[in-house]
Structure 1
């Protein structure tokens, strides 16, 4: 098991309506570990619960501590219940969160509007 001499890393959290995926990388972007609620044994609608998010954050924090990573930047993407719980538990496991960035894509102009229909009264 490779221990990292730098104490810094990045955690990416992709939280959707169906699943939550968390990835731990080093500063260069190389994946160290990843986990999701499906990997931890949750199936169906239980994958998007707060308990699943809690389990994911404990597992990813355990990997970070074992790899000697103590300072992380967190990038959060998506809309779900589990985002806030993940951040709280990562912080409580002794990992210092340096920054939290929301990278959820937002539409800047939306979809094209429908063509306006013309009515002929003949």
Structure 2
């Protein structure tokens, strides 16, 4: 008796969303379909950056390019709405990486959470 194996079908997604979370230590890029279901996720650690090199703008660019190329190849993604969250150095670099990989950016929205005098913020880093 033959096993019933699921045949993987290529899900064709023309437009989606790109969520970029840029912290001081890392940048996480998530590409989703229009409903918010994750298609591809990536970060500088996935492509080999480790330690303090993960927090650089160059690492964010490379991670965004790698993630976008995977989504284009696997799902046929063409255009994205970009949502940015966080204060990190990889914010703009990740957007440039998505653009350089061949994704068309339709809109750019900043969703960085800003407290309206909520919790006390953490101490500022010394320079």
Q: TM-score, normalised by structure 1?
A: 0.83
How far apart are residue 61 of structure 1 and its match? 1.4
- Aligned: 1:23 with 2:30: yes
Partner of 1:69: 77
RMSD: 1.7
Tell me how far apart the structure 2 counterparts of residues 55 and 2 of structure 1 sit (CA, whole Å): 28
Partner of 1:94: 102
Higher mean displacement: 64-73 or 86-95: 86-95
Partner of 2:17: 10
Note the alpha carbon deviations across 1:58-108, whole angstroms, 9 max, x for none: 111102211111010111000111111111121122211011111110011
Tell me how far apart the structure 1 counterparts of residues 39 and 9 of structure 2 sit (CA, whole Å): 10
Structure 2 residue matching 1:107: 3-state secondary structure: coil
Partner of 1:117: none
When Rg is computed on C-alpha atoms for both structures, the one with the higher figure is 1
- Structure 1 portions without partners, runs of 5+: 113-122
1:70/1:37 CA distance change after superposition, 3 Å: same
Tell me how far apart the structure 1 counterparts of residues 30 and 83 of structure 2 sit (CA, whole Å): 10
1:5/1:40 CA distance change after superposition, 3 Å: closer
What are the residue-to-residue correspondences of 1:29-44 with 2, within 5 Å?
A: 29-44=36-51
Q: TM-score, normalised by structure 2?
A: 0.80
Determine which of 55, 58, 68 is the counterpart of 2:65.
58
